[in-house]
Structure 1
């Protein structure tokens, strides 16, 4: 069964763990990460290609932050997932729950049933990390979200192109008044015209929507001497930030900080 047609009471997971958020608006905060399996995109820079398929098992952290994982079978019921999240939720430790992947919106039916229950159980805000290209699935769970971090895929970097879907997705967020920000991965291959197009798209809804330019983390392929993508030169990043700030009020350049501090 595909995620879109699967039983709404079960989900396919990769892992659950407690860590410091290293990207976007929630950077530096402590979150419970629920990482879902499956992604319908194949971005060139993806450092989570292991999430593209459904594994037979998932890993669940036993003690928050200790990386003492236990292994369980997929798929997982709502009741079981709630038990695992409750085990992570030590009083006062976490700022929010992060739904990540893969692409969490491939599990929208499950999330529609799960999110009201996990909010009631933990009283924690719910944050969605997404490719920003599935507006119809987003609509199903928007009432249960507190914030959304959406990617805008630059074709020159990701190999993916979803401009119209990104526009519809951002409109859903803007109309619902959920907190939203956009993240753009940039590399030495980035085309400036795409950055300007992204800035115009975001500004057409509100110039106050925060934007994060994230230099790609060099990704190595086993048995290949060269990296797939390299980060851009600093002078290019400065120029690109200045370009986008002609349209937008908040354009921040932030690398993947969780990798710098070993929170992989």
Structure 2
């Protein structure tokens, strides 16, 4: 049986694009993004809501008040792809650094294994953007180079028991491949970050604080106090560089 992955659809094809990493440890690094569809969470400010905010689901979103905004037809926003087609699409770009993102890519961790094996066999570096709720199976972990773990805080509007999975957080906290990126909306969010860092013994030099926002104005509004918090706690600040360069657009 041939394994297929579910990718987000962009225009007439899958959302695979060559750009720079806009967040976290590898900020500014040229990367090929492979955006998978599906997510096990429902963050109210999510900027990739087309990977999970399906018709007939009850989840609220900040965009609900926008004229014309509506939930997505799942069948119209997913592209099924086999490994060979994925490798062909990735191979069109002059880069050996792949970011597998979503949605939540580890929802498909079993189906990801053949793709990850092929990528590594051809010399690619693989990093995952994950919400830290799903433990990758042992086989996939072997072929993973980096996890960018974005544990969701209460500002995401997700139930605590769904966004905080102790076994999964412990797995990532104990992995040398993990870096932690917290989406911060207000200074009050810091107490949640500190609790997680302390409870799971996360090294402070692996913690990145990132402002929540999808516009340059909103990101800049939060920079000063967020940088100050990073200086106080010994954390690292990460911007959303792609927003400053391209705006809130897909495929860049």
TM-score (norm 2): 0.76
Q: Shift of the alpha carbon at 1:217?
A: 0.9
CA shift in 2, pair 1:218/1:56, >3 Å = closer
Q: Shift of the alpha carbon at 1:244?
A: 3.3
Q: Report what 2:185 is aligned to.
A: 187
CA shift in 2, pair 1:231/1:40, >3 Å = farther
Does residue 144 in structure 1 map to residue 143 in structure 2?
yes
Aligned length: 219
Pairs within 5 Å for 1:192-207: 192-202=190-200, 204-207=201-204
**1:195 and 1:244 in contact (8 A); partners too:** no
1:217 and 1:173 map into 2 onto residues whose CA distance is 25
SS of aligned partner of 2:117: helix
Q: Shift of the alpha carbon at 1:242?
A: 4.7
**1:105 and 1:130 in contact (8 A); partners too:** yes
2:202 and 2:98 map into 1 onto residues whose CA distance is 27
Q: Report what 2:63 is aligned to.
A: none
Q: Report what 1:56 is aligned to.
A: 76
Q: Shift of the alpha carbon at 1:206?
A: 3.5
**2:187 and 2:226 in contact (8 A); partners too:** no
Q: Report what 1:261 is aligned to.
A: 245
Deviations 1:187-213 (A, max 9, x none): 1374342122123135x15444x1111
Deviations 1:118-166 (A, max 9, x none): 2213x1111011111112x3544110011110002111x111235652x
Unaligned runs of 5+ in 1: 1-6, 59-73, 220-228, 246-250
Does residue 80 in structure 1 map to residue 85 in structure 2?
yes
CA shift in 2, pair 1:192/1:175, >3 Å = closer
Q: Report what 1:217 is aligned to.
A: 213
TM-score (norm 1): 0.73
2:175 and 2:237 map into 1 onto residues whose CA distance is 27
